[in-house]
Amino acid sequence: MKQRWVVVLLCAGALHFAAAPVTASGEDGRDERTIAIDRLQDVTDELRRRLDILERVLVTIVDHNPLVMSVETLAGRSGPFVITADAKFAASLSDEELKAALAHELGHVWIFTHHPYLQTERLANEIALRVISPELLVPVYEKVWKRTGARGNLAEYISFDFKPGR
- Residues facing residue 60 across a β-bridge: 84
Q: Tell me, yes or no, whether 137 lies in a domain.
A: yes
* pLDDT 10s digits, 66-95: 999 999 988 766 669 999 999 999 999 999
* pLDDT 10s digits, 5-48: 333 333 333 232 223 333 344 556 678 889 889 999 999 999 99
Tell me the C-alpha distance between 38 and 42, whole Å: 6
**CATH classification of the domain holding 113:** 3.30.2010.10
- Tally of domains within the chain: 1
CB proximity list for 95: less than 8 A, separation 6 or greater: 12, 13, 14
Q: Is the pLDDT of residue 110 over 70?
A: yes
Domain, as residue range, for 112: 4-157
Q: Is the pLDDT of residue 130 over 80?
A: yes
Tell me the C-alpha distance between 143 and 19, whole Å: 17
Q: Tell me, yes or no, whether 165 lies in a domain.
A: no
Write down the pLDDT at residue 116: 81
